[in-house]
Structure 1
């Protein structure tokens, strides 16, 4: 589902993560620690999440868009799982602390991508890609 171009865009750019609470209140935050781990899943490190984590606990649906949407015009929609221990949490902690030794990740968010849309301006804006 995720192409090599999409994976590279996620890993090399800031991403914006959108969530909503169970009552529909939206929240969008920039995230620096996001990377694909295979063709369907994206690992996100929770260092400072408050509303985002609370929203995901109430409603696991989420969406991601890459900062540079002009070059990488994709929106990824999927479902999150939260890990506070285990393999994914350990991977998230090691990765984040290798980049910034002073950070203390609280959890790992594993997003399984279900849909991909174009956000490229023009007639294909909003068109489902996969």
Structure 2
């Protein structure tokens, strides 16, 4: 498992959206923007499920994912292993956070589950001679 430096954690939390990539076991890709997300710790991020369809089907068969995000704070890609959760104390805490965010926006949306992504590798996505370099 890789450890995300604080600046990567901060960048992840500050981005409005990140992009989550999944695939079927035979390699058919699926990529979606995700807005309800947060760093859990230096080795784990969480992405909430409100509308996963193809994403959830892929995760049930193939837990390997990639997440990319970029902005003024930097540009990064996470390769990780996802665990889908929709019950238990940790999920209930995360659901309360997500549902509270949507309620504050006036949106009648609730979390039905989510993925804990354990960071296996971390890369830079900045252009230049070190483009794609492994950071952890």
Structure 1 length normalisation: TM-score? 0.93
Match of 1:49 among 44, 48, 52: 52
**Separation of aligned partners in 2, 1:97 and 1:104:** 5
Does the CA-based 8 Å contact 1:97-1:104 persist in structure 2?
Answer: yes
1:3, CA displacement in angstroms? Answer: 1.5
Partner of 1:19: 22
Match of 2:32 among 18, 29, 44: 29
Match of 1:96 among 95, 98, 101: 98
Correspondence 1:1-130 to 2 at 5 A: 1-13=3-15, 14-68=17-71, 71-101=73-103, 102-130=108-136
User: Which stretches in structure 2 are left out of the alignment for 5+ residues?
Assistant: none
Runs of 4+ aligned structure 1 residues displaced above 6 Å come to none
1:94, CA displacement in angstroms? Answer: 0.6
Paired residues in the alignment total 129
**Separation of aligned partners in 2, 1:88 and 1:63:** 23
Q: CA RMSD in A?
A: 1.2
1:84, CA displacement in angstroms? Answer: 1.3
**Separation of aligned partners in 2, 1:88 and 1:107:** 11
User: Which stretches in structure 1 are left out of the alignment for 5+ residues?
Assistant: none
